[in-house]
Amino acid sequence: GAVVSQHPSWVICKSGTSVKIECRSLDFQATTMFWYRQFPKQSLMLMATSNEGSKATYEQGVEKDKFLINHASLTLSTLTVTSAHPEDSSFYICSARGLAVISTDTQYFGPGTRLTVL
Amino acid sequence: ELKVEQNPLFLSMQEGKNYTIYCNYSTTSDRLYWYRQDPGKSLESLFVLLSNGAVKQEGRLMASLDTKARLSTLHITAAVHDLSATYFCAVSNYGGSQGNLIFGKGTKLSVKP
């Protein structure tokens, strides 16, 4: 089946620093990748959608200058949280959609990255 | 704007009992997903429902879709402790960002012996 990995799985950083999270599709080409954020005991909220080779589309209320997304290849998208603050602490989950085995419309979720900003 | 509502949000049940989780959505969509999430983990795909009247079963879980009523159900039969988790339904948002998913708030299921 289609596998999506994320790295790192967890990260702790100091306030004001930047953190990069990678999302990779391991066995298929992901034409579209989605970045979600999940606060404790809440649902997943879409942050942005990225397509390979083009600028990401951000959801309303998500600061594009703070959450930088790069989808440089069909197997890799990165989310950089710039100047992180404690309120950015959350569980970040990516999903990938593309020319998968089962369906071109199915999204495959990564294992998530837990970010803690001190 | 597509909205997805789940109920109940919390469900405590005894082993061996049956229960149903409901998922209502506000606008037309022909693709509904059910996911399971264990604490600290990502999402595990349970079911993809693609058409009106679709019914899928896996073990003690059965999901159905009524696109006319904009309703999906996740039925739990003879619950066991291992089913304790949070269950999310999600609907494809064809009017949004390239078909992203809109999630319900989730139902936290706790199965007690």
What distance in Å separates the CA atoms of residue B33 and residue B96, rounded to the nearest whole number? Answer: 17
Q: What pLDDT does residue A101 have?
A: 46
What distance in Å separates the CA atoms of residue B74 and residue B109, rounded to the nearest whole number? Answer: 12
Q: Which of A26, A31, A24 is nearest to A2 (CA)?
A: A26
pLDDT digits (tens, 9 = 90+) for A30-68: 888 999 999 998 999 999 999 888 889 999 999 999 999
Q: Closest residue of A to B44, CA-based?
A: A109
Q: What pLDDT does residue A30 have?
A: 85
pLDDT band at A106 (very low <50, low <70, confident <90, very high): confident
The verdict on B72 touching A (C-beta cutoff 8 Å) is no
Q: What pLDDT does residue A51 have?
A: 86
pLDDT band at A105 (very low <50, low <70, confident <90, very high): low
Chain B interface, best mutation among A44, A49, A97, A109, by max B CB count within 10 A: A44
The verdict on B51 touching A (C-beta cutoff 8 Å) is no
Q: Name chain B contacts of A59, Cβ cutoff 8 Å.
A: 97
Q: Closest residue of A to B87, CA-based?
A: A43
pLDDT digits (tens, 9 = 90+) for A74-104: 899 999 999 999 999 999 999 998 754 445 5
Answer yes or no: are the C-beta atoms of B107 and B86 closer than 8 Å: yes
- Distance of CA B93 to CAs A6, A8, B80, B101, Å? 24, 29, 33, 6
- The mean predicted confidence, pLDDT, of chain B is 91
What is the mean predicted confidence (pLDDT) over B94-104? 74
Across the interface, do A43 and B105 touch by the CB < 8 Å criterion?
Answer: yes
pLDDT band at B97 (very low <50, low <70, confident <90, very high): low
Is A1 exposed, middle or buried, given 0-12, 13-18 or 19+ CB atoms closer than 10 A?
Answer: exposed
pLDDT band at B99 (very low <50, low <70, confident <90, very high): low
Residue type, A74: L
What is the mean predicted confidence (pLDDT) over A20-24? 97
What distance in Å separates the CA atoms of residue A3 and residue B73, rounded to the nearest whole number? Answer: 27
The verdict on B87 touching A (C-beta cutoff 8 Å) is no
Percent of chain B, pLDDT > 70? Answer: 94
**A95-106 CB burial, b ≥16 within 10 A, e <16:** bbbbebeeeeeb
Across the interface, do A57 and B104 touch by the CB < 8 Å criterion?
Answer: no
Q: What pLDDT does residue B13 have?
A: 92
Residue B24, pLDDT above cutoff 70: yes
Q: How many CB pairs under 8 A join A and B?
A: 51
Across the interface, do A49 and B97 touch by the CB < 8 Å criterion?
Answer: yes
Cβ contacts of A63 within 8 Å, gap of 6 or more: none
What distance in Å separates the CA atoms of residue A44 and residue A47, rounded to the nearest whole number? Answer: 9
Across the interface, do A114 and B48 touch by the CB < 8 Å criterion?
Answer: no
